[in-house]
Chains A and B, each alone.
Chain A
Amino acid sequence: MTTHRTSKRRLAIGSAVAVAALLTTAGCGGGDDKEKKGSGPGYNAAVGKIANPSEKKGGTLKFIGTQDADSWDPQRGYYGFVWDYARFYTRQLITYKPAPGEGSQELVPDMATATAKISEGGKRYEYTLRDGLKWQDGKPITSKDIKYGIERIWAQDVLSGGPIYLKEVLDPKGEYKGPYKDKDPEKLGLKAIETPNDKTIVFKLPKPNGDFEQMLAMPAASPVPKDKDTGSRYGQKPFSSGPYQWVSYESNKSMVLTRNPHWKKSSDPVRKALPDKVTLTLITNSDEMDKRLIKGNYDVDLNATGVGQAGRVEALRKHKGNIDNPLTGFIRYAVFPQTVEPFNNIECRKAVIYGADKKSLQTARGGPQGGGDIATNMLPPVVKGSDPKYDPYGALENNGGPDTAKAKEALKKCGKPNGFETTIAVRNNKPVEVATAESLQASLSKIGIKANIAPYDGSQTPGIIGNPKVVKSKNYGIIIMGWGPDFPTGQGFSMPLVHSKYILNNGNNNYSMLNDPKIDAKFTEAEAELDENKAAEIYTEMNKMVSEKAVYLPFVFEKNIIWRSSRLTNVYTAHAYNGRYDYSALGVVK
Chain B
Amino acid sequence: MLAYLIRRLFAVVLTLMVVILVTFGIFFIIPKWTGVDPATMYVGKQADAQAIEAIRQKLGLDDPIIVQFWEFLRGLFVGRDYTSGADTVHCSAPCFGYSFRNEQPIWPVLTDRLPVTFGLAGGAAILWVFGGVATGIVSALKRGTLWDRSAMTVALAGVSLPIYFTGVVSLAIFSYQLDWVSNEYTEFGVNPGDWFSGMILPWVTLAFLYAAMYARLTRATMLEVLGEDYIRTARAKGLREPVVIGKHAMRSTMTPVLTILGMDLGALIGGAILTETTFSLPGLGQAAVRAISERDLPLVLGVTLLTAGAVVIANLIVDLLYAVIDPRVRLS
Chain A residues in the interface with B (C-beta under 8 A): 68, 70-71, 76, 78, 155-158, 160-165, 178, 180-181, 231-233, 235-236, 250-254, 283-285, 288-289, 291-292, 295, 297, 429, 457, 459-460, 462-464, 466-467, 470, 473, 496, 504, 506-509
- With both beta carbons as reference points, the residue of chain A lying nearest to B58 in the complex is identified as A232
A288:B280 contact, CB within 8 angstroms: yes
Task: Knowing A160-B48, A252-B290, A253-B282, say if A506 contacts B55 (CB, 8 Å).
Answer: no
CB distance from A419 to the nearest CB of B (A): 30
- Are the C-beta atoms of A470 and B51 separated by less than 8 Å? no
Contact, CB under 8 Å: B42 / A161: yes
Which A residue sits closest to B183, measured CB to CB?
Answer: A292
**A155-B85 in contact (CB<8A):** yes
Enumerate B35-74 residues with CB–CB distance to A below 8 Å.
35-38, 40-55
Beta-carbon contact of A466 and B40 below 8 Å: yes
Given A76-B44, A180-B87, 17 more contacts at CB 8 Å? A156-B54, A157-B84, A157-B85, A162-B44, A164-B48, A231-B86, A232-B84, A233-B89, A252-B286, A291-B171, A297-B183, A457-B36, A460-B36, A463-B36, A470-B35, A506-B47, A507-B52
Cβ contacts under 8 Å, B44 to chain A: 70, 76, 78, 160-162, 507
Q: Is B104 an interface residue (CB 8 A)?
A: yes
- Contacting pair B40 A507 (CB below 8 A): yes
Q: Are B45 and A78 in contact (CB under 8 A)?
A: yes
Q: Is B112 an interface residue (CB 8 A)?
A: yes
Q: Contact check, B37 vs A163: say whether CB atoms are below 8 A apart.
A: no
Question: Which of B37, B46, B278 sits near A285, CB closer than 8 Å?
Answer: B278
User: For the complex, is B103 an interface residue (Cβ under 8 Å from A)?
Assistant: yes
In whole angstroms, how far apart are the Cα atoms of A244 and B255 in the complex? 58
A233-B103, A250-B112 are contacts. A284–B85 as well, Cβ < 8 Å? Answer: no
Q: Once bound together, how far apart are the Cα atoms of A283 and B55, in whole Å?
A: 28
A248 to chain B, nearest CB (A): 12
Contact A284 B277 (CB under 8 A): yes
Among A157, A288, A295, A466, the most chain B Cβ lie within 10 Å of the Cβ of A157
Residue in B closest to A281 when the chains form the complex, CB atoms: B184
User: Given contacts A236-B103, A284-B286, are A160 and B42 in contact (CB under 8 A)?
Assistant: yes
- The interface centre, meaning the residue of B45, B89, B294 with most chain A CB atoms within 10 A of its CB, is B45
A466 to B55, CA, bound (A): 17
With both chains docked as a complex, state the minimum distance between the C-beta of A434 and any C-beta of chain B, in angstroms: 16
Q: Whole-angstrom distance between the alpha carbons of A215 and B293 in the complex?
A: 31
What residues on A are CB-neighbors of B46 within 8 Å? 78, 162-165, 496, 507
A466 contact from B47, B51, B87, B112, Cβ within 8 A:
B47
Q: How far is the CA of A178 from the CA of B51 in the complex (A)?
A: 12
- Is B34 among interface residues, defined by CB-CB distance under 8 A? yes
Do the beta carbons of B102 and A464 come within 8 Å of each other? Answer: no
Bitwise, B236-272 to A at CB < 8 A (1) or not (0) is 0000000000000000000000000000000000000
B176 at the interface (CB under 8 A from A): yes
Are A181 and B85 in contact (CB-based, < 8 A)? yes
Could you tell me if A160 and B43 are in contact, using CB atoms closer than 8 angstroms? Answer: yes
Given contacts A232-B84, A251-B102, A251-B109, contact A462 B43 (CB under 8 A): yes
Q: Is B295 an interface residue (CB 8 A)?
A: yes
Closest CB of chain A to B19's CB: distance in Å? Answer: 24
Number of chain B residues whose Cβ lies closer than 8 Å to a Cβ of chain A: 47
B16 at the interface (CB under 8 A from A): no
Is B289 interfacial (CB 8 A cutoff)?
Answer: yes
21 A-B residue contacts at CB 8 Å? Answer: A71-B103, A78-B44, A78-B46, A156-B50, A156-B51, A156-B54, A162-B44, A181-B85, A233-B89, A253-B282, A284-B277, A284-B280, A284-B290, A297-B183, A457-B36, A460-B34, A462-B40, A463-B40, A463-B41, A504-B47, A507-B46
CB of B262 to closest CB in A, whole Å: 28
A473 to B293, CA, bound (A): 25
Compute how far the CA of A181 lies from the CA of B85 in the bound complex, rounded to whole angstroms: 9
- Closest Cβ of chain B to A105, distance in Å, is 21
Task: Kindly state the separation between the CA atoms of A156 and B57 in the bound complex, as whole angstroms.
Answer: 13
Are B184 and A297 within 8 A (Cβ)?
yes
List the A side residues contacting B112 at CB < 8 Å. 250, 253
Q: Nearest Cβ distance between residue B96 and chain A, in whole angstroms?
A: 15
A251 with B293: CB separation less than 8 A: no
3 smallest A-B Cβ distances: which pairs? A507-B47, A157-B85, A160-B51
- A283–B289 Cα distance when bound, in Å, is 11
Asked whether B308 is an interface residue with its Cβ less than 8 Å from the other chain, the reply is no
Q: Are A157 and B54 in contact (CB under 8 A)?
A: yes
How many pairs of A and B residues are in contact by the CB < 8 Å rule? 154
Q: How far is the CA of A155 from the CA of B35 in the complex (A)?
A: 28
Mark B165-184 against chain A: 1 for CB-CB distance below 8 A, else 0: 00000010000100000011
Q: A164-B46, A459-B293 are in contact. Are A157 and B86 (CB under 8 A)?
A: yes
Bound state CA distance, A402 and B289, in angstroms? Answer: 41
Contact A460 B89 (CB under 8 A): no
Q: Is the CB of B289 within 8 A of A284?
A: yes
User: How far, in whole Å, are A462 and B36 apart by their CA atoms in the complex?
Assistant: 9
Chain B residues near A161 (CB-CB < 8 A): 42-44, 51
In the complex, B125 has a CB within 8 A of chain A: no
Q: How far is the CA of A312 from the CA of B43 in the complex (A)?
A: 33
Return the chain B residue nearest A160 by Cβ. Answer: B51
Segment 61-113 of B: residues with Cβ below 8 Å from A: 84-87, 89, 102-104, 109, 112
CB closest chain-B residue, reference A157: B85
- Cα(A483)–Cα(B53), bound, Å: 26
Contact partner, A506, options B37, B89, B282, Cβ 8 Å: B37
| Complex contact B47–A163 (CB within 8 A) | no
Q: Which residues of B contact A507 (CB under 8 A)?
A: 40, 43-47, 52
A336–B85 Cα gap in the complex (Å)? 37
Check if B213 is an interface residue, CB within 8 A of chain A: no
B312 within 8 A of A: no
Asked if B204 is at the interface (CB within 8 A of a chain A CB), the reply is no
A70 to chain B: which residues have CB within 8 Å?
44
Determine if A457 and B295 form an interchain contact, defined as CB atoms under 8 angstroms apart: yes
User: Are A235 and B290 in contact, CB atoms less than 8 angstroms apart?
Assistant: no
State how many angstroms separate the Cβ of A459 from the closest Cβ of chain B. Answer: 4
Given A252-B102, A460-B40, A463-B36, A156 and B48 contact (CB-CB distance below 8 Å):
yes
* Bound-complex Cα distance A508 to B103 (A): 24
User: Nearest chain A CB to B9's CB is how many angstroms away?
Assistant: 34
Q: Which of A163, A178, A231, A470 contacts B36 (CB 8 A)?
A: A470
B287 interface contact, C-beta 8 A:
yes
Smallest CB separation, A153 vs chain B (Å): 10
Contacts of A251 in B (CB 8 A): 102, 104, 109
Given the complex of chains A and B, what is the CA–CA distance between A215 and B84 in angstroms? 27
Closest Cβ–Cβ distance, residue B49 to chain A (whole Å): 8
Q: How long is the Cα–Cα vector from A252 to B43 in the complex, in angstroms?
A: 19
B51 touches A285 (CB 8 A): no
